[in-house]
Amino acid sequence: MISLYNNNPNRRLKFKMNISGVESSSIIPRLVIESSDKSKAILVNGTIEENVCYFAIPELSGFDKGEKVKAYYEAIVDEEQYSKLWEDTVDVESKREIKVSEAVQEEETKKKTELQAEAMIEEEDDEEFFEPLRLINKK
Residue-wise pLDDT tens digits, 109-134: 777 767 676 766 666 555 555 555 44
As for how many domains the chain has, the answer is 1
Kindly state the average pLDDT of the residues 58-71. Answer: 93
In the prediction, which pLDDT does 104 show? 81
Q: Domain containing 56: what range?
A: 2-93
Domain assignment of residue 14, yes or no? yes
DSSP letters, 30-89, are EEEEEETTSS-EEEEE-EEETTEEEEE----TTS-TT-EEEEEEEEEETTTEEEEEEEEE
Task: Using a cut of 0.85, tell me whether the model's pTM lies above it.
Answer: no
Domain assignment of residue 44, yes or no? yes
pLDDT level of residue 66 (50, 70, 90 thresholds)? very high
In the prediction, which pLDDT does 1 show? 85
pLDDT at 98 over 80: no
In the prediction, which pLDDT does 49 show? 93
Query: In three state form, how does the secondary structure of 101-112 look?
Result: CCCCCCCCCCCC
Rounded Cα gap, residues 10 and 93, in angstroms:
11
- CATH for 10: 2.60.40.10
Domain assignment of residue 110, yes or no? no
Domain assignment of residue 104, yes or no? no
- Give percent of the chain above pLDDT 90: 48
